Amino acid sequence: MRRIALIICEGESEVQYINLLKKWYKSPVRIVSHIEGTKITQALVENRTKELKISQWDHVTAFLMYDMDVTSVTEKLLRCRAEYLLSNPCFEIWLLLHAKDQKTALSTNAVIHELKKSSNVWTNYKKSSYTETQKEFLKVNTKTAIDRAQKLTEFDNPSSGIYKLLQVINDKYL
């Protein structure tokens, strides 16, 4: 059986992170990402899943990797049958968890501010691209981020379900 993780996401920041993971880890799971923006629906999830299922032996699991800072988008996401890799308020909370044990709620702008002051490697953070130093920081601190994320309440601010993707890569989830 061929296992495929379809990750439908909001934008380029998420895809860049997924590409890093694919580069770092050898996994029996094929990871495919699609940027779909805010037009997410159950029909779209089903169509993207069907596109990947080439044979009867393929097992495709759909994941939604989105920010929860826009209520109307979150409502659409929660109507979809998929696994959730949602971050509240935004993707950068996942990056912040690599550097800091964030337990209090933050706005999207405050997360970016906290990230930039959390460590020297993040001072010049720009969405959708990572310096070599930032990539190494993420790789070295992934276990710490997973531990911190697992202690947060899913969907609450702050939280991130992105750690579940690491479980997939490490063959513990699908």
The answer to whether the CB of 3 falls within 8 A of the CB of 53 is: no
Over residues 20-28, mean pLDDT: 86
Question: Is 49 in contact with 62 (CB distance < 8 Å)?
Answer: yes
The verdict on residue 88 lying in a domain is yes
d(CA 99, CA 90): 16
Rounded CA separation 75/119 (Å):
34
Task: Give a yes or no: residue 174 inside a domain.
Answer: no
Domain count, the chain: 1
pTM for the model = 0.93
Q: How confident is the model at residue 173 (pLDDT cuts 50, 70, 90)?
A: very low
Identify whether the C-beta of residue 85 lies closer than 8 Å to the C-beta of residue 62.
no
Q: What residues have CB less than 8 Å from 127, skipping those under 6 apart?
A: 12, 13
Structure confidence at residue 72 as a pLDDT band (50, 70, 90): very high
| pLDDT higher at 28 or 168 | 168
Q: Which domain holds residue 70?
A: 2-169
- Which one, of 166, 159, 165, 155, lies nearest residue 102 by Cα? 159
Q: Which pLDDT tens digit goes with each residue over 98-156?
A: 999 999 999 999 999 999 999 999 999 998 899 999 999 999 999 999 999 999 999 99
Which has the closest alpha carbon to 146: 100, 97, 102? 97
18 within some domain: yes
62, 83 Cβ separation under 8 angstroms: yes
Q: How far is CA 90 from CA 26, 69, 130, 155, in A?
A: 27, 6, 17, 11
Residue 46 has pLDDT above 80, yes or no: yes
| Predicted confidence band of residue 172 (pLDDT cuts 50, 70, 90) | low
In a domain, 123, yes or no: yes
From the list 52, 56, 47, the residue with the least C-alpha distance to 4 is: 52
CA distance 60 to 174: 9
Is position 127 within any domain? Answer: yes
CA distance 88 to 161: 9
